[in-house]
Amino acid sequence: MHRVAVVVQPGIRSFDLAVITEVWGPDRSHLGVPRFELRRCAEDTGPIALPGGLTLAPDRRLDWLAEADLVVVPALDEPAAPTPEPVLAALRDAHARGVPVAALCAGAFILAEAGLLAGRRAVTHWWLAPQLAARHPSVLVEDAPLYVEDGGLWTSAGVASGIDLCLHLVREAHGAEAAAAVARSMVTGPFRTGGHAQYLDRPTPAADRTAEALAAVRERALRHLHEPLSVATLAGWAGMSPRSFARHFVAATGTTPHRWLLGHRLDEARKLLERTDHPVPEVARRAGFASEVTFRQHFSSYVGLSPRAYRGAASATAAAAPPKSR
């Protein structure tokens, strides 16, 4: 996923374009991140007007999507505005070739207009979810997750969740270390699962205090992933009963404490496999798994490769990468 095409047209959101450009645009090879080729693709290469008086100069036509490893679609400032048929056709062709296609925020409306989301799960900004469902009844619209994937089509919720999705796509294609390096350079958090809740229903002083307590527990847990951590232990850190803690945790993150821990332990295991030569049993121990067998089962289910095969793929990718600048 080194060649990234961003599909541009009049009226796209400048924020979405900036996020995509910041994630895949800079050369971060000195940080161990692959060099990406990011191209702005449009019907023609004439200037494109963006909201706020900005102008964008595309550097490729839509036919470059045939060379891309990933296609990213920014939202339109007016979500219901029609998208030209050549753009829709290019997106359909890219998906038919098996290229991952990701839409940020209201970009889901564009994928739906292209007919790509029919019968598939999709998410957009919670405020726009009812509108997306009404305009495209065949789409299985969700309004809670930060991002979802269905059939090689990625959609994300509003604004900052676009950053989460872009970092997740880097992580999926190039490993946890590359995604963490991009996140550090952007001064943003390296990992929020797609199931993380978009928002808290009723923010109140008590809810704020609970959110702060839960955030402190999550931060502490990340420092102790190698230790056996139960829900009861985490609840004790928060000063709550296990049942109350679990309920508040799901409301704040969109996932259970167990799944949250598992996701971060697997992410830690990926880092260890990428940058150390520790034997697999030691990786399992350092990532906090009770046994190597359990680790292998969860890792293979999560990543789609065995730990050994993942390490081999990561080593091959590193060997093929250009040398770092001195």
SS3 8: coil
Q: Residue range 244-253: average pLDDT? A: 86
pLDDT at 144 over 50: yes
Q: Residue range 244-258: average pLDDT? A: 86
Q: Residue range 168-183: average pLDDT? A: 88
Express each pLDDT in 296-324 by its tens digit: 999 998 888 899 998 988 777 666 555 54
Please say whether the beta carbons of 168 and 217 come within 8 A. no
Distance CA 99, CA 91 (A): 9
Q: What is the predicted pLDDT for the residue at 319? A: 60
- Mean predicted lDDT score pLDDT of the chain: 88
Which range among 5-9, 13-17, 276-280, 320-324 shows the weakest confidence by mean pLDDT?
320-324
Please say whether the beta carbons of 168 and 307 come within 8 A. no
Q: What is the predicted pLDDT for the residue at 192? A: 59
- Confidence band (pLDDT; 50, 70, 90) for 158? confident
The more confidently predicted of residues 89 and 319 is 89
Distance CA 165, CA 121 (A): 15
The more confidently predicted of residues 34 and 144 is 34
Please say whether the beta carbons of 93 and 65 come within 8 A. yes
Distance CA 235, CA 241 (A): 6
- Check residue 12 and report its DSSP letter: B
- Confidence band (pLDDT; 50, 70, 90) for 207? low
Give the Cβ contact number of residue 173 at 10 Å: 17
Q: Residue range 53-58: average pLDDT? A: 92
Express each pLDDT in 100-139 by its tens digit: 999 999 999 999 999 999 999 999 998 899 999 999 999 9
Q: Residue range 289-296: average pLDDT? A: 93
Can you give the pTM of this predicted structure?
0.68
Q: What is the predicted pLDDT for the residue at 316? A: 72
- Confidence band (pLDDT; 50, 70, 90) for 200? very low
Distance CA 7, CA 91 (A): 9
Question: What is the percent of the chain where pLDDT is above 70?
Answer: 90
Q: Residue range 73-87: average pLDDT? A: 94
Which range among 31-40, 83-92, 206-215 shows the weakest confidence by mean pLDDT?
206-215
Q: What is the predicted pLDDT for the residue at 294? A: 93
pLDDT at 204 over 50: no
Closest CA to 274 of 322, 310, 222: 310
Q: Residue range 235-263: average pLDDT? A: 88
Closest CA to 114 of 134, 96, 141: 96
Distance CA 73, CA 86 (A): 14
Strand 48-50 relative to strand 54-56, pairing: antiparallel
Distance CA 132, CA 139 (A): 8
Q: What is the predicted pLDDT for the residue at 212? A: 80
Residues whose CB falls within 8 Å of the CB of residue 325, separated by 6 or more in sequence, listed in order: 29, 30
SS3 127: coil
Instruction: Render the burial of 220-241: b for 16+ CB within 10 Å, e for the rest.
Output: ebeeebeeebebeebbebbebe
Strand partners, 314: none
